[in-house]
Chains A and B, each alone.
Chain A
Amino acid sequence: MFYYYQLRNHHYKTEALPLLLCPLCLHAGSVSMSVMQKYYWLAGPLAPSSRYAIAWCEHCGNYIPKVKWSDEMDLFYNHLKKGTSTPPRLYLGLWVMPLLTAAFVGVLLLAINVSNSRSQSRAAAVTDAVMHPQPGTIFQVVTTTDSNTPLYTYFKVDHAAGDSLYLLPCNVQRTDAMDWDDVPTAAGSYIQPPFVVSLPDTAGGSSDMFTWGSQGHKYAIVEGVWTEGKLLKKY
């Protein structure tokens, strides 16, 4: 992740230091020094960096390169620095950024939770429709062809009798899930006579699966339920 931040400068103090000798022109009494501190800025102060100083000579008009600083200048710099304390506002980001991050993560987790519980309640409604089939309900199912490729189609409930469920196959069968949600609702789309499947065995944990044929070698997984003009999807 990239943050676009700025480096800003906080100015503490500028003082003339008459005791110092300019290392460039060797003139005495003309050196001044500013103590400053960089801090990171992103819409507000984030965190302070190290303190530093720049020095210049009023006599020769030069800024003094850091590599030319004398021991005495270092001494005065440390003395000037001692009298400064970093303003608390420069640390603002160290408090605010973690809080913002925590808030962001919290909102994200909440959103995931809400969408999870929504999809869970949808899945429960689909399971309920499978376990208590009403005549006229259309199941959106994925099954397999004889050559074992996936087939996206629909089964309409004709009637239920005991543990057996009578379903009408659909004449719309798709090889991909692209237009799968356009559920054919016309009565003519479903082929008589019904075939019989066993109601799913909830104890087995696969509650949204129909099996039929000898030894249940054919199966279909319910992905959605169309009832009263509305398609309810599991996911």
Chain B
Amino acid sequence: MAFDEHLQRIPKANWTDYEYVNKGSRQPVRVLVYAVLFALAMWAFALWRWYDMDRSEQTGSELSITPLEWGLYKLGGKWALPLLFALCGAFFIWLGFRGYARLKKMKES
């Protein structure tokens, strides 16, 4: 069967549920581990930016930031960007848990 026919038969949202890469693909917990690692990276980034902006506020030293950061800083001060990233990280963990639960159910069915 050609690949295009598979594409039509498997719902696109669930496609990754059927993609077997190696033995690790069988572990439902894998998706959660990836999500947590990703979230940790985002939190580290948030912490780093908050620390830089805080130090810049305290000492008045110069800090070059991206236009996105500047917009967020104007909206909500130094907390806006770290908070946004922290929430994104939490969202990824939630997605990870959901994926984990779905795959675990699939494995046990």
Contact = CB atoms under 8 A, between A and B. Distances in A.
Interface of A: 9, 11, 14, 32, 34, 36, 50-56, 63-69, 73-74, 77
B103 to A, nearest CB: 5
A34 B6 contact: yes
Interface of B: 1-3, 6, 9-10, 17-23, 25-28, 103-104, 106-107
- Chain A CB within 10 Å, residue with most, of B19, B104, B107: B19
Contacts of B20: 52-55, 66, 69, 73-74, 77
Nearest to B21: A52
A235 B17 CA distance: 61
A65 B1 contact: no
When A and B form their complex, which 4 residue pairs have the shortest distance between CB atoms, in order from nearest? A67-B107, A11-B3, A66-B25, A66-B20
B106 A68 contact: yes
Given A63-B9, A67-B26, A9 B3 contact: yes
A201 B68 CA distance: 49
Nearest to A67: B107
B32 to A, nearest CB: 13
Contacts of A68: 26, 106-107
B21 A50 contact: yes
Nearest to A33: B20
A14 B10 CA distance: 16
